Structure 1
Amino acid sequence: MTSSLPLQPLPEAPATSGPAAVSARNLVKNYGKGETAVAALRDVSIDVEQGRFTAIMGPSGSGKSTLMHLLAGLDTADSGTIHLGSTEITGLNDTQLTTLRRDTVGFVFQAFNLVPTLTAQQNILLPIELAGGKPDLEWFDFVVGVLGLQDRLKHRPHELSGGQQQRVAVARALLTRPQVLFGDEPTGNLDSRSGAEVLSLMRRSTKELGQTIIMVTHDPVAASYADRVILMSDGRIVGGIENPTAETILAAMSELGA
């Protein structure tokens, strides 16, 4: 059958844009050994441009979460190379990876992971304080303003809506000025209105703050907020959609059997 996938070849980062935010070559990742081995990634190469919002999608078991975990330094590849900016992270030891994740990478997960006894402001500042650093108060005010949290800083998590709690989590991730912000189903626990609110704010952070975002999601509507969607199947990247809409994503996912 002739494929009708609305896919486009994945472009390399433009030569004039400097190094990609994240670049990977020939990634291979297997789980298990022998007859029970599962090939999670099969010779995957990818460039993610700076200052863009990229979504990774695919059927269950396609390798999308594995790819994100490798790019973020949360897991290690069996072979291949990964660069975060100009730094090769492949082969770093656990201590070096911990430092890298603390200093250059931000995370927003499906669970908000806020400390219930702390205020929104204290939750946002917590990672910097734990690292023994001092926050840039001008940057703090700017991020809080972009995310619309000025009137919620003294509230504890139980006094905030789900969307507001996730905005606090996004602010916490952005405060360290990460090279890349990774989102793992960041709106999975939100209703549609709150999810749209958070996704709009994430998109604004790429446009107004120059933030690079890589998000894994199964939701075509969530992925439509991205500048580009990368589609995976059976451990491989099978194409991408530039300027995606929910309709073009649904059509592509249908062809993939998702």
Structure 2
Amino acid sequence: MTPNLSTAAAPSSVSAAAVAAESINKSYGRDNTTVHALRDVSVSFPSGRFTAIMGPSGSGKSTLMHCLAGLDTADSGRILLGGTDITGLNDAELTRLRRDRVGFVFQSFNLIPTLTAEQNITLPVALAGGQVEREWLQQICTILGLADRLSHRPHELSGGQQQRVAVARALLTRPDVIFGDEPTGNLDSRSGAEVLALLRRSSQEMGQTIIMVTHDPVAASYADRVILMQDGALVGELERSTPDTILSALSQLGA
């Protein structure tokens, strides 16, 4: 297994990271039914990079993402998002942080069918009572190939176009980080490739930090970096890898 992953992030890398975990642990259940989902995990995600998290089922990859995004809380340790320690925030503060500083792209598109593409993209800003940056919206939609689809409702869009709308929605608030949870899981291979290429482009050209959980080596190959997990721990990482290289590493984990 590739031994490149440090088990403890250096202070300088943590302070410069878009998001970082310091010795976080997470368990579910009690006594004989306890499941240790995360075991003393320390890792940092540099700003402007596209990272994939992979591992066998039950390895802790989704739990790690949920804790990093403030969707779940760690039992111990610290999580820093843009320099903010989120582990001590209450529910209301976490809600504001997710709304203002985090973007999400899920396997399901989560679009409201009665709204147009543009209205779906701008909905989080509208709900927060904010003002949409029209120039930024236009730039995002042009890059994502949505400029001529903004008046269409979800049922008038292909699956790939619907997921592009979800990506645009995530980008609109210029978040510290975008989290993707199997974002191409409901797409055919061509549409999936288009969305992954757009995520990579948003990282390379817009400086957007992206963290994606996936089981697909092809999807992970679009990332700058692949982090490997097993039994709740980080066990290795790969840089700019091919699907075959990733698949080989996963096979050593029994995935």
Structure 1 and Structure 2 fold alike (TM over 0.5): yes
Match runs of 1:127-142 below 5 Å:
127-142=124-139
Q: Is the 8 A contact 2:9 2:22 kept in 1?
A: no
Q: Is the 8 A contact 1:53 1:227 kept in 2?
A: yes
Match runs of 1:1-258 below 5 Å:
5-10=1-6, 15=12, 19-258=16-255
With 15-24 and 162-171 compared, the bigger mean Cα shift is at 15-24
Distance 1:242 1:111 in 2: 28
5+ residue gaps, structure 2, are: none
Q: CA deviation at 1:19?
A: 1.5
Q: Is the 8 A contact 1:13 1:20 kept in 2?
A: no
Distance 2:223 2:39 in 1: 25
Q: CA deviation at 1:6?
A: 4.3
How many residue pairs get aligned? The number is: 254
Distance 1:9 1:66 in 2: 19
TM-score normalised to the size of structure 2?
A: 0.96
Matched to 2:129, the amino acid is G
TM-score normalised to the size of structure 1?
A: 0.95
Q: Secondary structure at the match of 1:151?
A: coil
Q: Is the 8 A contact 2:20 2:81 kept in 1?
A: yes
Q: CA deviation at 1:18?
A: 6.0
Question: Identity percentage over the alignment?
Answer: 70
Q: CA deviation at 1:12?
A: 5.2
Distance 1:165 1:63 in 2: 28
Matched to 1:186, the amino acid is P
Q: Is the 8 A contact 2:144 2:164 kept in 1?
A: yes
Partner deviation per Cα, 1:106-161 (whole Å, 9 max, x = no partner)? 00000000000111011001110010001001100111111010111111100100
Distance 2:151 2:23 in 1: 47
Q: Is the 8 A contact 2:5 2:234 kept in 1?
A: no
Q: Is the 8 A contact 1:7 1:252 kept in 2?
A: no
Partner deviation per Cα, 1:136-191 (whole Å, 9 max, x = no partner)? 01100111111010111111100100000000000001001100000000000000
Partner deviation per Cα, 1:32-87 (whole Å, 9 max, x = no partner)? 11111100000000010000000000000000000000000000000000000111
Q: Secondary structure at the match of 1:76?
A: coil
Matched to 1:56, the amino acid is I
CA-atom RMSD in angstroms: 1.5
Q: 1:134 to 1:39 in 2, by over 3 A?
A: same
Q: Is the 8 A contact 1:8 1:242 kept in 2?
A: no
Q: Is the 8 A contact 1:13 1:49 kept in 2?
A: no
5+ residue gaps, structure 1, are: none
Q: CA deviation at 1:252?
A: 0.3
